[in-house]
Amino acid sequence: GDPTPEISYEDLNASDKGWLSYIGDYGICLIKGAPTEKRAPAQRTRYGDAFDVVQEYKPSHVAYSHFKLPLHIDYLYQDDAPGLQFLHCLR
């Protein structure tokens, strides 16, 4: 498929037009160089305010495995499903 669209944090702060285009067209956008400080309060989920996405040795669900998951929507069945979900990935 198409490569994941990317935008730098600096470009995002200059204008959100490109970022919103990527979200609308692809449903995903990688923001590179984002700071670690909070920008806004997080919406609480059934997993709490924040949770770590980690690989388990013997996973009980494919979400906790090393397998690549296709793009999907979490919490769609809830009345207050998030409009956007941000994953802050660290290397």
pLDDT tens per residue, range 11-38: 998 988 888 999 889 888 999 998 888 7
Cα(46)–Cα(75) distance, integer angstroms = 9
In this prediction, residue 32 carries a pLDDT of 92
Q: Compute CA distances 42 → 3, 39, 50, 75, 87, whole Å.
A: 28, 9, 8, 15, 11
- pLDDT-derived band at 50, boundaries 50, 70, 90: confident
Q: Is the CB of residue 23 less than 8 Å from the CB of residue 29?
A: yes
pTM: 0.66
Cβ-based neighbour number of residue 1 at 10 Å: 6
Give the integer Cα–Cα distance in Å for 32 and 29: 10
Asked if pLDDT for residue 1 goes beyond 70, the answer is no
pLDDT mean over 47-56: 78
